[in-house]
Structure 1
Amino acid sequence: MTAPLQGIATLTHLGVIRAQGADAASFLHGQLTQDFALLDTQHARLAAYCSAKGRMLASFIGFKTGPEEILLLCSQDLLPAMLKRLSMFVLRAKCKLSDATADYALCGLAGDSAAQATGNAAPWTLRSVDAAHVVQLYPAGDTPRALWIAPAGSAVPAGPALDNAAWLWSEVASGIATLSLPVQEQFVPQMLNYESVGGVNFKKGCYPGQEVVARSQFRGTLKRRAYIAHAEQPLTVGAEVFAASDAEQPVGMVVQSAAAPAGGFDAIVSLQIASTDEALNAGGVALALQPLPYELLADI
């Protein structure tokens, strides 16, 4: 799980939504699980976009590029529908939303490349380097990671090339799930540990699904968490997870999966907490749970 990674990966699985206008921050503040009203230019935000039932429709990494512009990074397969849905709620707000994917180059930085770009700052720290923006991510094991976003055509940072598959594994190893189409509307944010990694602000005002998310946190109703699992065979995103004691009732789902550098496959799985002591499998493939790379916040 902690094999060292070094270099720079070109990222094609992420897209960019641009929110532009005097009300961009306040509009997003009312739609997403994190505080965008107080967002400055030194930090990024991890955030979920939820349905009225509190189920995640998408996850975003968002940051300001200027006083009236915010960029949102999300899984490319969700972007068109999320852009359309968010645009429905703009109404009279002075905020224009657009697909800006073609306007930006996105890279993942790992190891020394990330450390040099960010100085090993805290996760979600944002640095501006010339025309580029660099977001410090959670590490993969002991390996620093960062996102590099710059205008299309910008020179990529100097460093060795990193295979995209290795970067995708680093995302799994970080324990921070990026929602994609096969698992849309399957989880409230806490089922992916978002409240423990800076993805939910419980002090901000209302947003779609806010009552469900808050109730999960404050009434002790949360029964699922995200874990990292290892398997010897490929795991399909969206596959149901079963415990040995019950082959018919699933206890979880595969959220994200990637080939592991040391062999086999690693995945983020969302599981019933009560099932974690049992033998688990996804589609008949045995799962071995691994330690989470971060601390979970205590339930309130």
Structure 2
Amino acid sequence: MSWQSEFPSLTITENDTLPKLTVSHLVSWGAITVTGDDKKSYLQGQLTCDVVSLPEDQSTLGAHCDAKGKAWTIFRLFSHQDGYAMLQPLSAIEKELTEIKKYAVFSKVTIEESQGVLLGIMGEEADTYIDTLSEDTGHVRKIENGTAVKISDQRWLLLVNEESARNIVETADAVKAHEALWSMADILQGLPIVNQDAQNEYIPQAFNLQALGGISFSKGCYTGQEMVARAKYRGINKRAMYIVKGKLTASITEGSSVEIERSVGENWRKAGTLLAHYQYADGCVIGLIVLPNNLEQETNLRACSEPESIWTIQPLPYSISDE
């Protein structure tokens, strides 16, 4: 049996204690790598984040936008081998790769989809385990045949070659878990997940990127910068990303979407589609969705598929205020 098929779904509820160490094969995620003499200056002129000031041992969230400020992708940028890697949902890469390479012919850069394997390491023993892979101490560490990136407390991403990935999976004293567990953590932490269906729909602030350190308002020009800056200084952004929670009696099948409505007086109006979701064993569902940013916290929501079940907006673990 291949090591790649050994990641079962964990049967948990939202109140269950998670294993002390889990490893997941992140098959729904990918990365774009950027190498070459002009890699830093090229990305600086394309992305919302400040690439020039990013230390090698740190990562940052960021967006790549079109000229109107609409995000092609939300990514995590970090130093990887002899260049940079941009972690993002795999479904977004095809379009993003075309867009990010548009002006590469004028610079000394090579931009391509990474062939590396992505693993997610989670749990209270995650830091201790990563220490066994590297003597470095930063949030971005060189490891054998790849890179380890700290995403949050008790959570690390590994971008390695297949040989190293197989060795880690087979030798780590960790519970093997389906990648849905990784998505659950992203949702609970309010980290944007922009798949193919959400590309080129919203400006970065609609995904709370300004609150997550993914937009520099002092770095200078980049594609879409005028619109992104206008949204901040003229207050024209009317949307934000929220965590929502509800319950569904039916299981959400892989690849399906969840449509949400919001209450408007006595009526209901379409609110949007969940960017990402996780369903616990008891049917409880958490998800991310872009909504008007002036909604009251008490606004009722519901899934179109099961309108009898009321959903609620959950507190974000950070402030989205521009103040």
Structures share a fold, TM > 0.5? yes
Match status 1:91 vs 2:90: no
**Number of aligned positions between the proteins:** 288
Residues 45 and 2 (structure 1), Cα distance of their counterparts in 2 relative to 1, 3 Å cut: farther
- Could you tell me which of 141, 144, 149 is aligned with 2:159? 149
SS in 2 for 1:275: coil
Counterpart-to-counterpart distance in 2, 1:46 and 1:3: 29
2:312 aligns to what?
Answer: 288
Residues 145 and 89 (structure 1), Cα distance of their counterparts in 2 relative to 1, 3 Å cut: same
* Mapped contact 1:169–1:260 kept (Cα < 8 A): no
Equivalent AA in structure 2 for residue 84 of structure 1: T
Equivalent AA in structure 2 for residue 287 of structure 1: W
Question: How do residues 186-225 of structure 1 correspond to structure 2 at under 5 angstroms?
Answer: 186-225=201-240
Residues 195 and 261 (structure 1), Cα distance of their counterparts in 2 relative to 1, 3 Å cut: farther
1:114 aligns to what?
Answer: 126
Match status 1:175 vs 2:227: no
Give the Å deviation of 1:65. 2.3
Q: Give the gaps of 5 or more residues in structure 1.
A: none
Match status 1:278 vs 2:299: yes
Counterpart-to-counterpart distance in 1, 2:41 and 2:15: 39
- Could you tell me which of 265, 278, 285 is aligned with 1:258? 278
Match status 1:81 vs 2:100: no
Counterpart-to-counterpart distance in 2, 1:3 and 1:179: 28
Counterpart-to-counterpart distance in 1, 2:75 and 2:293: 26
Counterpart-to-counterpart distance in 1, 2:266 and 2:47: 36
Counterpart-to-counterpart distance in 1, 2:74 and 2:258: 16
SS in 1 for 2:33: strand
Q: TM-score, normalised on structure 2?
A: 0.81
Larger Rg: 2
Counterpart-to-counterpart distance in 2, 1:196 and 1:172: 15
SS in 2 for 1:176: coil
SS in 2 for 1:167: helix
Q: Give the gaps of 5 or more residues in structure 2.
A: 1-13, 132-137
Give the Å deviation of 1:117. 4.5
Equivalent AA in structure 2 for residue 164 of structure 1: E
Cα displacement string for residues 216-263 of structure 1 (whole angstroms, at most 9, x for unaligned residues): 112222322211111112676473543233757544542211213564
Give the Å deviation of 1:297. 4.7
Give the Å deviation of 1:164. 2.0
Equivalent AA in structure 1 for residue 18 of structure 2: L
Equivalent AA in structure 1 for residue 292 of structure 2: Q
Counterpart-to-counterpart distance in 2, 1:146 and 1:134: 7
* Mapped contact 1:61–1:73 kept (Cα < 8 A): yes
Question: How do residues 23-34 of structure 1 correspond to structure 2 at under 5 angstroms?
Answer: 23-34=38-49
Equivalent AA in structure 1 for residue 59 of structure 2: A
Q: TM-score, normalised on structure 1?
A: 0.86
Match status 1:56 vs 2:80: no
Which 4+ residue blocks in structure 1 deviate beyond 6 angstroms? none
Q: Alpha carbon RMSD of aligned pairs, Å?
A: 2.4
Residues 262 and 22 (structure 1), Cα distance of their counterparts in 2 relative to 1, 3 Å cut: farther
2:135 aligns to what?
Answer: none
Cα displacement string for residues 175-233 of structure 1 (whole angstroms, at most 9, x for unaligned residues): 10121011112221111111111211111121121111111112222322211111112
Cα displacement string for residues 84-104 of structure 1 (whole angstroms, at most 9, x for unaligned residues): 22112112200011122x2x1
Counterpart-to-counterpart distance in 2, 1:278 and 1:177: 21
* Mapped contact 2:72–2:95 kept (Cα < 8 A): no
* Mapped contact 1:228–1:289 kept (Cα < 8 A): yes
Residues 147 and 30 (structure 1), Cα distance of their counterparts in 2 relative to 1, 3 Å cut: same
Residues 160 and 298 (structure 1), Cα distance of their counterparts in 2 relative to 1, 3 Å cut: same
Match status 1:299 vs 2:322: yes
Counterpart-to-counterpart distance in 1, 2:127 and 2:187: 20
Counterpart-to-counterpart distance in 1, 2:44 and 2:280: 37
Residues 220 and 21 (structure 1), Cα distance of their counterparts in 2 relative to 1, 3 Å cut: same
